[in-house]
């Protein structure tokens, strides 16, 4: 049997990753600890600096984060959200589209949706980072080292 080339192996891994769907795939893609880097400059509200430096950990059986983002039994879902639907109605459609345009986001943004007993939170993918809105503040997350 001939060994796989690195390119063939990479293609097989990518195909297996793409084949993963559902809550397990959504959770696996974002699993681990993320750090709140700061407040996005497009945020309608600029207060909230006390959250900067805090972490959110997306684990299989819990979201470990400051309240109200913490969750004992999360359900993870990977969805694509149209520009006008960013931040789940917490911004007007026009504001959400303007945010998407400033960030050069596609027509639909990859989003980790976390459903918990205390509500639903959307974490939108912007490059290698995630953004989410809480109390009118748009926070930026990056994977913790």
Residue 12 located in a structural domain: no
Look up the domain containing 76 and give its range: 21-143
Q: Is there a domain that residue 91 lies in?
A: yes
User: Domain tally for the chain?
Assistant: 1
* Phi and psi torsions of 123, nearest 5°: -120, 110
Domain membership of residue 6 (yes or no) is no
Residues 112, 122 contacting (CB under 8 angstroms): yes
Q: Is residue 4 included in any domain, yes or no?
A: no
Confirm whether 47 is domain-assigned: yes
In a domain, 131, yes or no: yes
The predicted structure's pLDDT at residue 21: 55
Question: From first to last of its 145 residues, what are the pLDDT tens digits of the chain?
Answer: 334 333 333 333 333 344 445 666 766 788 999 999 999 988 888 888 899 999 999 999 999 999 999 999 999 999 999 988 898 878 888 888 888 888 888 899 999 999 999 899 999 999 999 999 999 899 999 999 8
Contact 141, 131 (CB under 8 A): yes
Query: What pLDDT is recorded for position 26?
Result: 63
Q: What is the value of pTM for the model shown?
A: 0.78
DSSP string, 56-109: EEE-SS-EE-STTS-BSS-EEEEEEEEGGGGGGGSS-HHHHHHHHHHTT--SEE
């Amino acid at each position: 049997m001939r060994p796989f080339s690195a390119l063939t192996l990479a293609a097989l891994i990518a195909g297996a990753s793409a084949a993963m769907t559902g809550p397990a795939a959504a959770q696996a893609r974002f699993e681990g600890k993320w750090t709140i880097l700061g407040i996005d400059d497009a945020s309608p509200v600029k207060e909230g600096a006390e959250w900067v430096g805090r972490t959110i950990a997306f684990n299989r059986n819990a979201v470990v984060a400051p309240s109200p983002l913490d969750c004992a039994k999360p359900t993870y879902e990977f969805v694509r959200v149209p520009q006008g639907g960013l931040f789940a109605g917490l911004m007007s459609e026009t504001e959400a589209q303007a945010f998407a345009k400033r960030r050069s986001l596609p027509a639909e943004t990859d989003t980790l949706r976390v459903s918990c007993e205390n509500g639903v939170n959307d974490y939108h993918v912007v490059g290698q980072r995630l953004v989410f809105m809480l109390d009118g503040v748009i926070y930026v997350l990056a994977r913790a080292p």
